Chain A
Amino acid sequence: MMSTASIVIALLSFALGALLALLMIPILVWLERRGAGLIQDRLGPNRTNIGGFRLGGVVQSFADVVKLLLKEEYYPNHIKKGRGLLMFAPIITFVSALLAFMVIPFADNIIIDGESLAVQPLPIDYGVLWYLSIGSIGVIGMFFGGWLSHNKYSLLGASRAGSMMIGYELPLGLSVLSLVLTYNSIGFNDMVHWQSQTLFGFLPAWGMIVQPLAGIILIISLFAETNRAPFSVAEGESEIVAGFFTEFTAMKFALYFMGEYVAMNTASAVIITMLFGGYQLPWVDTELLLSNFNNFAFSLMLVIPIFVFIIIKWMKKNNRVRPTVSSDGGRAFETKVLTIALTTMTILVEVILIVLVLFPSDLGSSITVMLFQIATFVVKLMMFNIFFILVRWTLPRFRYDQVQHLGWYYLLPLSIFNIFVTAIVIVIVGV
């Protein structure tokens, strides 16, 4: 029989996984457009608002969703058979990206009444295999979409996507294999645990530091797997219109589009979990936080107001129109409301922390540590998503043969070499 706590934690982590994957899409779309604007020396979408609330322009993404939902479902006339499957193809891509995200641990196993509960939407201990296998289903949706469009460009796009996926699945799997050898586990949570120790007493034992070559190969292959620039040859709008989604409109197109962002989010989550210590801060693991809970709470009480103060200061400085514009479009009002909301939240958090320090309880401290680790995870996730966006808008797209050349001639031999070196080191050191 399952206890109440385990059911609550399971439901909460499932909801958190769905929220992190789905709510991240509009934020990432907005970030991408603002990031592109930053690099191309313009502003990007920043004016859409609901009653003066712009939130920096995030509202634009919701407007886009409404537009895509209301758009006409259009099928090209030459598509006679397989419209159902054509409709279903983007769903395969989207769902596989979403499912692959569900094995990422958002915080350490929380212990309630002596029961260890995983904060992971799908609490399985072979997460790496799950990610590799489910993640490779996504390309099947691109195949169906490309073939059923009955269009040369779509066909070319689909075959490019497929052969690139096959070419980069191997270095991905092999670099993951050398990481698995290092961590001696195929569970994501065990990997994070391994990474929370230190090397030589001062370096955090992050995968990127222990296995730099495997880390770089993993990051490059994941860039290719997500079909994003500089590996976006499957779309390649300057060569083959838009690749496999040339004939897709409205929500069908949006599912491919959102699937790309979910896949990018998943790739970031996998990178930080396998290479950058996951939900843990360096040098500070879960036991340390729990055993020194009072110190931890005091430092949180100090850091949070400073952080909020800087955010409010930054918002007051930037959330305004040029002096030549007469109406500020409700921006002063937005700043005021957000300032009040942020201040209230900070005071609330401080009060809760004070109560937890004055009346210590195991449950309260472990929940606080869990929330802190979730926050750390989200911050790291956002940092890596921004890295993805910066790379996309900095590097030009590789030519198709260059992409294949890089995968087969450099990454594959290097990853096999890395496995040999790792295995020899493990045999010698005897870990």
Chain B
Amino acid sequence: MLENNIFIILSLFLVGGSLGMILFKETIFSAFSFLVAMLALAGEFALLNNSFLFMAQIMVSVGAVVVLGLMVIITLNKQDKNLPNEEHKFLWIIFSTILVLPFSLLLYKALSSLHLSFEETKEGYGTLKMVGETLFSRWVLPFEAVSVLLLSAMVGAITIARKDDYSKKEEK
């Protein structure tokens, strides 16, 4: 009963945060709504007793994504008058909602019957220790492949961002 109530409150925060993220005009309020949504999602994971997803959610989504997003907002320093004038914003939102509605219904149907095709979780499922052991025993090759992929993506991003030629700079 208590779990249900907490779930409903967290879901309200999650839905409200997501709506605020797209509805607010000022970037900083969108960022705050995003923060609220991410924290609420972390709370949902904690409610499932899934400590790994809870910690990962806070660490990656809040500690990295939101902080870096805010860093970008502050660095760009867009003033209110520079923000785009979004005419018919609500019309667009209603239109796109109707457009994705059938897909959402399909998704809901599929997800609500998904739990029938899985076994019940064992004791200790989703804890940090279990996830770590599985990751480094059964999935160690994909895990390493993903880390190499991320590394190459990082090197690529740095190369694209740094277009300036060093030899020219030294001449100056």
Contact = CB atoms under 8 A, between A and B. Distances in A.
B6 interface: no
A139 B73 CA distance: 14
A133 B66 CA distance: 12
Contact of A155 (B32, B68, B77): B77
**Which secondary structure dominates where chain A touches chain B?**
helix
A130 B58 CA distance: 9
Interface in B9-60: 26, 28-29, 32, 35, 51, 55, 58-59
A140 B35 contact: yes
B68 A126 contact: no
Interface in B49-86: 51, 55, 58-59, 62-63, 66-68, 70-71, 73-75, 77
A146 interface: yes
Contacts, number: 66
B162 to A, nearest CB: 15
Contacts of B66: 140
Interface residues of A, number: 28
A124 interface: yes
A408 interface: no
B17 to A, nearest CB: 14
Given A85-B32, A159-B74, A186 B62 contact: no
Nearest to B73: A147
Contacts of B74: 143, 146-147, 155, 158-159, 162
Contact of B128 (A129, A143, A146): A129
A317 interface: no
Interface in A241-277: none
Contacts of B51: 124, 126
Contact of A133 (B29, B63, B73, B75): B63
A50 B26 CA distance: 50
A140 B55 contact: no
Interface in A204-219: none
Contacts of A166: 67-68, 71
A145 B84 CA distance: 24
B28 A148 contact: yes
Contact of B55 (A129, A143, A162, A169): A129
A155 B28 CA distance: 13
B62 A147 contact: no
Contacts of B62: 133, 136-137, 140
Majority SS at the chain B contact face: helix
A186 B128 contact: yes
A222 interface: no
Interface residues of B, number: 21
Contact of B63 (A137, A155, A162): A137
Contacts of A147: 28, 70, 73-74
Nearest to B128: A126
Interface in A176-218: 186
A27 interface: no
A163 interface: yes
A144 B31 CA distance: 9
B61 to A, nearest CB: 10
B58 A133 contact: yes
A126 B56 CA distance: 12
A126 B67 CA distance: 23
Given A126-B128, A159-B75, A162-B74, A144 B63 contact: no
Nearest to B59: A133
A339 to B, nearest CB: 50
A165 interface: yes
Nearest to A85: B32
Nearest to A92: B35
A146 B74 CA distance: 9
A23 interface: no
A134 interface: yes
**The 5 A-B residue pairs with the shortest CB-CB distance in the complex, in nearest-first order:** A136-B63, A133-B59, A143-B70, A133-B58, A159-B74
6 contacts: A126-B51, A133-B55, A133-B62, A133-B63, A143-B70, A165-B67
Interface of B: 26, 28-29, 32, 35, 51, 55, 58-59, 62-63, 66-68, 70-71, 73-75, 77, 128
Given A140-B67, A148-B28, 15 more contacts: A126-B55, A133-B55, A134-B58, A136-B63, A137-B58, A137-B62, A139-B67, A140-B66, A143-B67, A146-B74, A147-B28, A147-B70, A147-B73, A155-B74, A162-B71
